């Protein structure tokens, strides 16, 4: 019982806390506050990922890493992130990615597809194979987070943020830019990100998979930026904007899960012949769901296009 309690404690997923900025913050102080907020989410889920028992910790650690990488991208014109850190962040995100993909496959995609399936549909072989693969990928993710390579990355990231390592290679003009008001920077950034999504999302419901994926990434980056800078604006304005953007992003995210799942299902049927019938049913069901979602996505996009970013 004591061991079970320890495992449960280690496996509690840590979600992101709201970022609290002040209007008199400089760009540098805001960047540091945002980076520390992201790192807290990443570090808070390390033990849970390492225990290998709760897939939600893998998901939340990936979210923390995506938020951190998005923050680096957001401030790249003022704060330059070392290539080493960028490459290592991509590495650990990739190590966690397969575990997350198979968790979504097992607990969302297949569960939705097989709920209410005819009794003669062979779903058990698909579910078992997906569960086995997911378990192996969670073990691989746990090994990556427990590795010396990840420990080095975590230490270097923390040191770089705490010691303002970005200052080491800066000249006078670049250092002066760090002291600009975050308020002006945030407003300019949100407008730019909003316009980018509007451009990439033109005719969104009818885009092909590749262009819709680019629109989804733009939506995700805009959402993170709005959450980072949201405390600088009236809460009701931010809430209304994030609600519309969040629903749009959720729909695009669901479609992306289906696209990823399609690839995983193809591989599953190829590697495990006994899953072929169940895979065929799941793929057919998901394709019908995507087709039926066209009008819903159209409405969500129309609603969002009428909005302006918080100001």
Residue 2, pLDDT score = 42
Supply 148's token pair.
Answer: 């010396």
Distances (CA, A) of 153 to 16, 91, 140: 20, 10, 17
What is d(CA 70, CA 17) in angstroms, rounded to the nearest whole number?
16
Task: Say if residue 1's pLDDT is above 50.
Answer: no
Q: Where are the alpha helices (DSSP H) in 45-181?
A: 46-51, 55-74, 83-104, 110-114, 124-145, 148-162, 172-177
Residue with tokens 């920077």: 185
What is d(CA 240, CA 226) in angstroms, rounded to the nearest whole number?
12
pLDDT one-digit tens code per residue, 55-77 = 899 999 999 999 999 999 999 99
| pLDDT range class, residue 10, cuts 50, 70, 90 | low
Residue 4, pLDDT score = 44
Architecture in CATH of 25-180: Alpha solenoid (1.40)
Residue 7, pLDDT score = 44
In terms of phi and psi (left: phi > 0; alpha: psi -120 to 50; beta: otherwise), the region of 164 is: left
pLDDT one-digit tens code per residue, 212-221 = 999 999 999 9
What is d(CA 31, CA 233) in angstroms, rounded to the nearest whole number?
17
Residue extents of the structural domains in the chain: 25-180, 181-311
Mean pLDDT confidence for 117-144: 92
What is d(CA 50, CA 45) in angstroms, rounded to the nearest whole number?
9
Nearest one of 212, 151, 161 to 37, comparing CA atoms? 161
| pLDDT range class, residue 54, cuts 50, 70, 90 | confident
* pTM for this entry: 0.92
Topology of domain 181-311 in CATH is CHAD domain (1.40.20)
pLDDT one-digit tens code per residue, 160-199 = 999 999 999 899 999 999 999 999 999 999 999 999 999 9
- Positive or negative CA dihedral for 196, 199, 205, 210? negative
Supply 225's token pair.
Answer: 């930026």
């Amino acid at each position: 019982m004591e061991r079970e309690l320890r495992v449960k404690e280690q496996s509690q997923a840590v979600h992101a806390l709201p970022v609290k900025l002040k209007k008199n913050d400089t760009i540098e102080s805001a960047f540091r506050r945002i980076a520390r907020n992201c790192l807290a989410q990443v570090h808070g889920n390390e033990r849970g990922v390492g225990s290998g028992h709760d897939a939600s910790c893998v998901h939340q650690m990936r979210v923390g890493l995506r938020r951190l990488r998005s923050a680096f991208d957001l401030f790249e014109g003022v704060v330059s992130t070392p290539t080493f850190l960028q490459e290592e962040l991509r590495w650990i995100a990739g190590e966690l990615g397969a575990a997350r993909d198979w968790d979504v496959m097992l607990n969302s995609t297949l569960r939705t597809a097989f709920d209410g399936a005819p009794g003669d549909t062979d779903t058990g072989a698909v579910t078992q194979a997906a569960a086995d693969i997911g378990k192996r990928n969670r073990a691989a993710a746990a090994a990556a987070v427990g590795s010396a390579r990840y420990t080095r990355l975590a230490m270097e990231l923390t040191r770089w943020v705490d010691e303002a390592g970005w200052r080491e290679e800066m000249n006078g003009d670049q250092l002066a830019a760090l002291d600009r008001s975050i308020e002006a920077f945030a407003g300019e950034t949100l407008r730019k990100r909003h316009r980018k999504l509007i451009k990439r999302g033109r005719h969104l419901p009818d885009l092909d998979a590749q262009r819709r994926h680019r629109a989804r990434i733009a939506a995700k980056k805009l959402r993170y930026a709005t959450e980072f800078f949201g405390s600088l604006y009236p809460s009701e304005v931010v809430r209304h904007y994030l609600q519309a953007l969040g629903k749009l992003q959720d729909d695009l995210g669901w479609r992306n899960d289906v696209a990823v799942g399609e690839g995983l299902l193809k591989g599953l049927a190829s590697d495990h012949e006994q899953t072929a019938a169940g895979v065929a049913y799941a793929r057919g069901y998901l394709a019908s769901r995507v087709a039926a979602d066209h009008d819903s996505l159209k409405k969500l996009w129309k609603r969002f296009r009428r909005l302006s970013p918080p100001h």
